[in-house]
Amino acid sequence: MITRRVLLLLMVLGLLLAACDDETAIDFKNNSECGSADVTLVNTTTNAAREIRIPQGESIKVEVGHGIEYAYLVEYPSPPPNVNCYPLEGTIELTRERQTATVNLESATPTPLP
């Protein structure tokens, strides 16, 4: 009887700890063919900026505060030829705690004209 209670308590405690690990974050995924992406992420309330470099094919999750608007600018310092690599900018606000937004970075291969 006591063993069941202890086991149940440990299971509940494990679930609570797992729920606490979640973070409010923006996940930048560099799925482009443009090489590394340089991201500037600015908290629009405090103007605090973070500089992040994301290698091609990788993703980086950046912890942010909820209820705060963030502006981001993505640039590609060394794009390869024949691939369109345009700067990307936008704003994002996560309104709830433990929410994650994903920003997919992609490139476009130009279509030859006839």
Task: For the chain, give every domain's residue range.
Answer: 19-105
Hey, which residues does 54 pair with through a beta bridge?
37
| Whole-angstrom distance, CA of residue 6 vs CA of residue 28 | 41
Instruction: Kindly indicate whether the domain formed by 19-105 is annotated with CATH number 2.60.40.2890.
Output: yes
Give the model's pLDDT for residue 50: 97
pTM (2 d.p.) = 0.74
Give the model's pLDDT for residue 108: 72
Give the model's pLDDT for residue 31: 95
Hey, which residues does 103 pair with through a beta bridge?
28
| Whole-angstrom distance, CA of residue 85 vs CA of residue 10 | 51
Q: Walk along the chain (114 residues) and give the pLDDT tens digit of each residue.
A: 555 554 444 444 444 444 444 799 999 999 999 999 999 999 999 999 999 999 999 999 999 999 999 999 999 999 888 888 889 999 999 999 999 999 999 887 655 556
| Whole-number Cα distances in Å, 63 to 23, 43, 86 | 7, 12, 25
